[in-house]
Structures are given as C-alpha cells and as structure tokens.
Amino acid sequence: MSVCNVYLSKYPFPFKKEIFCQQRREEIEKCRNSSVKEQKMYVWKLLEYALSDTFGLDISKQKFQKKKSGKWILDGCYFSLSHSGNIITVAISDSPVGIDVQIIKKLDQSQKFKAIILSEKEKKKFRNISDERLLKMWSLKECAFKQSDDSNFIPSRYSIDDIPKGVTFKFGQGKDKYILSLLCDNVEKADYHSLIGEFKTSGMNSPRIKAINRTLVNI
C-alpha cells in the first residue's frame, strides 16, 4: 500500500517523555546553538508521533540508526525532517522521501545565494530570479538531497530540470509565510496534517492541510 503522510506543527508544545532514541538524544544535547537545538528536539518528537500515527509503531522499541552520511534511518519505513522559523515538519512514507520547509523572507545577499544554489546552466537561465523563486528551488533541491544517498548537500550540483515531479506550495499561519516542498514516489497521494491549528495554503494545486482533532501534542 502506498503511504505518504506529512505532519506540520508550530513549536513549542508539551510532550510526556524525552526522546526515546538515546543516541539521537545525546547528539541533540551536544548542539551548541540553543535555537537549532530546540528545533531538532521538537521535530524528533513530531517524528515519533508521526511514526506511531502512520504505521502504529511502538516508538520505545524502535532502533534508529545513523548512516555514515549523517542521515538517520529506521528499518521498514522512510522519513524526512525539516524546520524553519517556528514551524517543524515530518514526512513519513513506504518509499524514499524528502521534505523541506523554508520561511519566505527577503534574501539580504541574494547574489551569494544564487552562486550557492544555482547550477551554471541555471545561472544563465534565471538571471533575474526573485527571492521567492530562489527559495523554492533551494527547497526542492533540499528534498532531492534528502531523498538520495548523497552525503553532502551541494545545491549547485542539482538541476531543477532533473528533479522528479514533486509538490511545492505556500502556506501560512498569521503573518509568517512558508514554502513547503515534497518529493516522494507517492507524492500525489500525500495527506497533510496539522497538529496545532489551521494552516492556509496557496498556489496552484496546493493541498489541504487537515487539522488533527487535538490542540496539544502529548507524546
């Protein structure tokens, strides 16, 4: 059966127990940037919830592994994590999946970002690219990297024209607006869930994000 579920949430939110995977818990504790540390903790708790909700897994019994590439895996399913601003998101599937979320903002050094993100062919093709379009391309390339077995993310090595069909749309809650991108074999069948509050989406063929009937995530 084809499965692809996406979970979004604002953070912080209350949870009952600390992260079950000791190695991941210790890795997060070593993070020196307090903001990034907080994002990593909450997105992993959202992952635990998502795996339980999608596949009915007992999270306390799962054995996560960290590959040499630095990516975390779990036998029997695929997952991808992303966070930006105060939004965290997780994608769960039975096939390789990549998800990315980016807060929409003005890029102070857009020329520098162009040099990092665009391939040589794309630099010629997109000479007057907007900041938002650049963020969308960055987001899709992040998804392609997460879906792959590559060890290092070098955006300019990826070409948008070579990336399989995915989903990219804008969503928001309040004044902040975000871009969310998803790549997966089952991308057209993906279901989107909001754990805290409603999110409004925009853009052609943007999906509906369904609010789960709870206001707090008690995992």
Q: Where are the domains of the chain?
A: 4-211
Positions of the chain with pLDDT lower than 70, given as ranges: 1, 213-219
What is the pLDDT at residue 218? 55
Q: Which of 54, 43, 139, 146 is nearest to 93 (CA)?
A: 54
How far apart CA 214 and CA 43 sit, in angstroms, is 18
Q: What pLDDT digit, counting tens, does each position of 89-146 carry?
A: 999 999 999 999 999 999 888 889 999 999 999 999 998 999 999 999 999 999 999 9
Alpha helices in the chain (DSSP H): 22-29, 34-55, 110-117, 120-125, 131-147
* CA dist., res. 85 & res. 87, Å (int): 6
The pLDDT, as a whole number, for residue 32 is: 95
SS3 label, residue 111? helix
Number of Cβ within 10 Å of residue 189's Cβ equals 12
Please tell me the predicted confidence (pLDDT) of residue 64.
97
Model pLDDT, residue 175 = 87
Fold classification of 4-211 (topology level): Ribosomal Protein L22; Chain A (3.90.470)
What residue type is 156 in one-letter code?
S
Quote the pLDDT of residue 216: 47
Tokens describing residue 40: 């990593």
Question: Can you give the pLDDT at residue 215?
Answer: 46
pLDDT reported for residue 165: 82
